[in-house]
């Protein structure tokens, strides 16, 4: 792998970002070398002063040289600033867009295995850390290495003994910091766990505040949350102290370099093996040479710490994507499952050899005990996950060969867990079809019987409904979700407890509207209320990840099976009353 590709892979850089990083390396190197230019002038000036006078032509040279040095210092600092900061901020925007694009394409199974706070930390905090590494730590570290190497080579041309006295501390100092790598990685990973646990605790407290207050449990919960916050604080202090031990020790070793140069130079000077000018030059050079290295040691340690962040970022960017052709080749919209096997986690099978057909123009209901695989089947039908074995087709077309976004253009989906955005009612419904006009959105809202409650809102369709529709009731949120399905008007409809949050009157109205929506379409519904699925054309009973029964409601009622038992149990529960 080429160096450019390694940089792209490790620090989540685009091709242009990697090129800009090389420019940043060069700019930092030039800036460091420019800081050595005044040493040359001082060296010449010291020689003239030791000779007792400064020639007139040298005076002009010193004045011109000072002006040139200042100009070069300003110019190289300008180059460095542009190469390290401006380019990095542009690249940071590219990185976040690439990350968002990647998250859009990877399978939903990835999100099922990741903690929400962990993902949020990677997207927000880790991105910011890598941005800082790209703008501050890495360019300055590489620039210091290159410039110091060039200076060290030049020192050996003058006097090997003095050069060795100056440079012996460099490998020792960097080895001290490098030796901390494994310890720092372990500490950083542990710190991430503390931070994620703390974030989870805070988020959970905000989401469950009502329940905590209802049961007077807020004090107990806060005690546990305070422990998590304290754990983050204590670990951060310990980590900083441990890092300081290595970095400060390495920086202290660098200081010995000046001492060894002074001792070696004094000894050689007393033996008349070097002159005063050479001695003075080495003292000046090492005093300037060690300064960028002091910062480089801190940057080196910081980069070691970012390895954990880079690994977490790479886990996302290197994850396999769900891909496929953009061309739909289906003949009709029948959904067929053939010997489908699926597991969320390896070794824990959820579906075992599931086979059935949901025909176009019919309503196919998925029922069965909780945990039987109903919701999993509906998600697999839309390729939210890829199956382990078997085949799922739509109109004879293998959905695993189709681009997920192209495939979903054929689906209208209404799940029990509705997701709404902190935007207007109008825009929340328009998600169903982004190019829809206001009139079409309002028409869909009326079909879903949203018009009644929307007109009561302060600004009607332009009312902001809060985060995840917090200003609306559960039934109102559900109806907006159904309005999206009306607006999209896709040939395949997936419904998971679509009317679960509605009262009896609204449920009846919505069911009438849905009857118009589903004409000539493939409909796959999940419901626990038997009266909801009684009018279905076909019922598929799932139990323990297998198809236990499959037939029309009328025929299943005649057999002594799961469907008949579920009807019986629900009839008994309807007769229950408070004594």
What's the pLDDT score for residue 393? 93
Shared domain for 483 and 556, answered yes or no, is no
Instruction: Give the mean model confidence (pLDDT) for residues 82-97.
Output: 81
Shared domain for 101 and 183, answered yes or no, is yes
Shared domain for 97 and 166, answered yes or no, is yes
Shared domain for 526 and 431, answered yes or no, is no
Instruction: Give the mean model confidence (pLDDT) for residues 204-219.
Output: 82
What's the pLDDT score for residue 419? 81
Going by C-alpha positions, the residue among 27, 136, 40 that lies closest to residue 77 is 27
Q: Which long-range contacts (CB under 8 A, 24 or more apart) does 453-458 make?
A: 453/479, 454/425, 457/425
Query: DSSP string covering 396-422, please?
Result: TEEGGGB-HHHHHTTEEEE-SS----S
Q: Which long-range contacts (CB under 8 A, 24 or more apart) does 39-46 make?
A: 39/281, 39/284, 39/285, 39/288, 40/65, 41/65, 41/66, 41/69, 42/284, 43/277, 43/280, 43/281, 43/284, 46/277, 46/280
- The answer to whether residue 450 scores a pLDDT higher than 90 is no
289: pLDDT confidence band, cut at 50, 70 and 90? Answer: confident
- 281 burial (CB, 10 Å; 0-12 / 13-18 / 19+) is buried
User: Per residue in 375-414, pLDDT tens?
Assistant: 888 889 988 888 889 999 999 999 989 988 888 889 988 8
Domain stop point among 267, 283, 317: 317
| CATH classification of the domain holding 48 | 1.20.1560.10
The two tokens of residue 12 are: 């989540």
The two tokens of residue 357 are: 């057909």
Domain stop point among 317, 343, 359: 317
- The answer to whether residue 1 scores a pLDDT higher than 60 is no
Going by C-alpha positions, the residue among 257, 274, 256 that lies closest to residue 265 is 274
286 assigned to some structural domain:
yes
Three-class SS state of 457: coil
Domain stop point among 446, 471, 489: 489
| CATH classification of the domain holding 350 | 3.40.50.300
In terms of residue numbers, what domain contains 150?
A: 3-317
Report the mean per-residue pLDDT for the chain.
82
- The answer to whether residue 153 scores a pLDDT higher than 90 is no
Q: Could you tell me if 510 and 537 are in contact, meaning their C-beta atoms sit under 8 angstroms apart? A: no
Task: Name the least confident of 104-108, 526-530, 533-537.
Answer: 526-530
The total of other beta-carbon atoms located within 10 Å of residue 182's CB is 9
Beta strands 546-551 and 538-543, pairing class: antiparallel
> Within its chain, how far is the Cα of 214 from the centroid?
35
Residue partners of 534: CB distance under 8 A and separation at least 6? 553
Residue partners of 566: CB distance under 8 A and separation at least 6? 367, 530
Shared domain for 288 and 228, answered yes or no, is yes
Identify which of 114-128, 172-186, 278-292 has the greatest average pLDDT: 172-186
Shared domain for 181 and 150, answered yes or no, is yes
- The answer to whether residue 52 scores a pLDDT higher than 70 is no
Shared domain for 309 and 340, answered yes or no, is no
- The answer to whether residue 159 scores a pLDDT higher than 70 is yes
Shared domain for 125 and 222, answered yes or no, is yes
- The answer to whether residue 574 scores a pLDDT higher than 70 is no
102 assigned to some structural domain:
yes
What's the pLDDT score for residue 506? 65
Q: What single-letter DSSP state applies at residue 325?
A: B
Share of the chain above pLDDT 70, in %: 92
Shared domain for 38 and 82, answered yes or no, is yes
Shared domain for 569 and 478, answered yes or no, is no
The two tokens of residue 244 are: 């300081």
Shared domain for 281 and 259, answered yes or no, is yes
Sheet arrangement for strand 389-394:
348-358, 335-345, 389-394, 397-398
């Amino acid at each position: 792998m080429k160096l450019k590709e390694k940089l792209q892979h490790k620090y989540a850089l685009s091709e242009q970002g990697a090129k800009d990083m090389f420019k940043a390396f060069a700019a930092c190197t030039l800036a460091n070398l420019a800081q050595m230019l005044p040493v040359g002038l001082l060296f010449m000036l010291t020689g003239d002063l030791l000779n007792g006078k400064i020639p007139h032509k040298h005076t002009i040279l010193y004045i011109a040289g000072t002006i040139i040095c200042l100009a070069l210092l300003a110019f190289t600092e300008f180059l460095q600033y542009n190469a390290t900061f401006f380019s990095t901020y542009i690249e940071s925007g590219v990185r976040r867009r690439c990350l968002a694009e990647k998250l859009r394409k990877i399978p939903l199974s990835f999100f099922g295995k990741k903690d929400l706070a962990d993902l949020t930390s990677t997207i927000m905090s880790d991105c910011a850390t890598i941005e800082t590494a790209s703008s501050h730590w890495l360019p300055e570290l590489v620039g210091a290495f290159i410039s110091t190497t060039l200076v060290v080579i030049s020192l050996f041309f003058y006097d090997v003994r003095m050069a060795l006295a100056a440079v012996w501390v460099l490998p020792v100092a960097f080895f001290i910091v490098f030796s901390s790598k494994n310890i720092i990685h372990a500490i950083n990973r542990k710190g991430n766990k503390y931070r994620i646990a703390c974030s989870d605790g805070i988020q959970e407290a905000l989401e469950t505040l009502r329940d905590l207050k209802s049961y007077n449990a807020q004090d107990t919960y806060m005690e546990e949350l305070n422990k998590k916050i304290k754990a983050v604080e204590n670990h951060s202090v310990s980590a900083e102290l441990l890092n300081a031990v290595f970095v400060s020790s390495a920086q202290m070793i660098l200081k010995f370099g000046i001492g060894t140069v002074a001792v070696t130079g004094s000894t050689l000077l007393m033996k008349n093996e070097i002159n005063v000018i050479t001695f003075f030059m080495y003292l000046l050079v090492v005093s300037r040479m060690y300064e960028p290295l002091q910062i480089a040691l801190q940057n080196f340690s910081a980069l070691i710490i970012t390895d954990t962040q880079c690994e977490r970022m790479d886990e996302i960017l290197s994850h396999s994507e769900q891909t496929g052709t953009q061309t739909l080749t289906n003949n009709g919209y029948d959904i067929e499952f053939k010997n489908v096997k699926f597991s969320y986690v390896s070794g824990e099978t959820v579906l075992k050899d599931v086979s059935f057909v949901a025909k176009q123009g019919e309503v196919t209901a998925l029922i069965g005990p909780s945990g039987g695989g109903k919701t999993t089947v509906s998600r697999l039908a839309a390729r939210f996950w890829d199956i382990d074995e078997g085949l799922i087709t739509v109109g004879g077309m293998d959905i695993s060969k189709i681009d997920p976004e192209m495939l979903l253009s054929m689906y209208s989906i209404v799940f029990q867990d509705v997701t709404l955005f902190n935007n207007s009612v109008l825009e929340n419904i328009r998600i169903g079809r982004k190019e829809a006009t206001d009139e079409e959105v309002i028409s869909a809202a009326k079909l879903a019987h949203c018009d009644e409650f929307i007109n009561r809102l302060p600004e009607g369709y332009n009312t902001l409904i809060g985060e995840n529709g917090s200003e609306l009731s559960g039934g109102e949120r559900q109806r907006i979700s159904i309005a999206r399905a009306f607006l999209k008007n896709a040939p395949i409809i997936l419904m998971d407890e679509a009317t679960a949050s509605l009262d009896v009157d609204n449920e009846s109205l919505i069911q009438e509207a849905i009857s118009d929506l589903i004409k000539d379409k493939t409909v796959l519904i999940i419901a626990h209320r038997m009266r909801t699925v009684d009018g279905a054309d076909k019922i598929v009973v799932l139990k323990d990840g297998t198809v236990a029964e499959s037939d029309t409601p009328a025929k299943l009622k005649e057999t002594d099976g799961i469907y008949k038992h579920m009807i019986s149990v629900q009839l008994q529960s309807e007769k229950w009353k408070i004594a």
